[in-house]
Structure 1
Amino acid sequence: MRISERVDNAVRATAELALGDGTPMKAEGIATRQDISLKYLLDILRDLKRAELIRSKRGPDGGFTLSRSAASITIADVFRAIDGPLADVHDESVRTLSYPAPAEALPQVWMAVRGSLRRVLETVTIADLVAGDLPPAVCDLATEYRSDTTERHG
């Protein structure tokens, strides 16, 4: 699975907006603090607005805000707003995939991948991210990953 630069930047921008606590934030400030090109960020913000995760206000006191609380927006919501489904197999629904032998079990693998992604991305909210207070299961997975990586790469 590849997490695109757009998704990474969108999550970071959404986290910035969560810090605003309802006060509109300028795109220029977010772009500077997160080291994202302003033009690129504006495209991302447009996608987030289209998905109704953020809203914008024009004028000197304008800017961008979250459209609902950071505790009700998951990383999966942001991911889907930017890149679509969490795990897509050549634009087919994983539920309807079927393959002939010897790959007949492969749809189950793809279902497990999607389920694993959901287990993480749908349980971490933007508020959790901003607070640095991730769910224990997510922390456990990260610790396991670090341990496995250290063993493999020294």
Structure 2
Amino acid sequence: MHVSARADYALRALLAIADTGGGELVKAATLAEVQQIPLSVLHGILLDLRRADLLVSHRGTEGGYSLSRPADQITVGDVLRAVGGTLTTVRGLPAGSAGYQGVATGLRDVWLAVHGAVEQVVDRITLADLLTPEHRPADPAHW
């Protein structure tokens, strides 16, 4: 698994929005400044998150962005898929499409196992978990 800057930015933006408690609209410029994300990059990320039904945009001078559902219903996996597609890749393709012959045949099974392990972690952790320190394990290996 590779975590791109785009995926990191998307998670940081959604966490900042979620941290408002859901009642406050957050402007893209504010997100960019507070999270130190280039505004031009952030606009594309916010569009992807909106298309994935993770964000709602509100127009107008008092507009901004809000979560489309509660933070405890949005997982890290949802966000990663919205901005990056598949969670794990092999040579730029989804792990499931890797094909091998001969002595390397077993590699596909390894990549699928890695993909499954990543899914188990990122599909279990929600934005709310990340915002609530008591929900986080003392050892991150125990998510």
Whether TM exceeds 0.5 here: the answer is yes
Q: Which letter maps to 1:91?
A: L
1:4 corresponds in structure 2 to 4
Q: Within 2, Cα distance between the matches of 1:114 and 1:133?
A: 28
Q: CA deviation at 1:88?
A: 2.9
Q: CA deviation at 1:135?
A: 5.1
Matched position secondary structure for 2:56: strand
RMSD, matched Cα:
2.1
Q: In the comparison of the two structures, how many residue pairs are matched?
A: 141
Q: CA deviation at 1:92?
A: 5.0
Residues 10 and 29 of structure 1, relative CA distance in 2, 3 Å threshold: same
Q: Within 2, Cα distance between the matches of 1:97 and 1:66?
A: 35
1:43 corresponds in structure 2 to 44
8 A Cα contact 1:76 1:121, kept in partner: yes
Structure (1 or 2) with the larger CA radius of gyration: 1
1:88 corresponds in structure 2 to 89
Q: Identity, % of aligned pairs?
A: 39
1:116 corresponds in structure 2 to 117
Cα deviation, 1:22-41, whole Å, max 9, x if unaligned, reads 22111111111101111111
Residues 69 and 87 of structure 1, relative CA distance in 2, 3 Å threshold: same
Q: CA deviation at 1:101?
A: 1.8
1:141 aligns with 2:141: yes
Cα deviation, 1:107-153, whole Å, max 9, x if unaligned, reads 110011101111211111011111134554x935179xxxxxxxxxx
2:20 corresponds in structure 1 to 20
Larger mean Cα displacement after TM superposition, 85-94 or 39-48:
85-94
Matched position secondary structure for 1:55: strand
Structure 2 residues without counterparts, runs of 5 or longer = none
8 A Cα contact 1:10 1:78, kept in partner: yes
Q: CA deviation at 1:44?
A: 0.6
Q: Within 2, Cα distance between the matches of 1:45 and 1:71?
A: 19
1:58 corresponds in structure 2 to 59
Residues 92 and 77 of structure 1, relative CA distance in 2, 3 Å threshold: closer
Matched position secondary structure for 2:65: strand
8 A Cα contact 1:20 1:65, kept in partner: no
2:30 corresponds in structure 1 to 29
Residues 82 and 128 of structure 1, relative CA distance in 2, 3 Å threshold: same
Q: Within 1, Cα distance between the matches of 2:104 and 2:8?
A: 33
Q: Which letter maps to 1:108?
A: D
Matched position secondary structure for 2:49: helix
Q: Counterparts in 2 of 1:97-108, with a 5 A limit?
A: 97-108=98-109
2:68 corresponds in structure 1 to 67
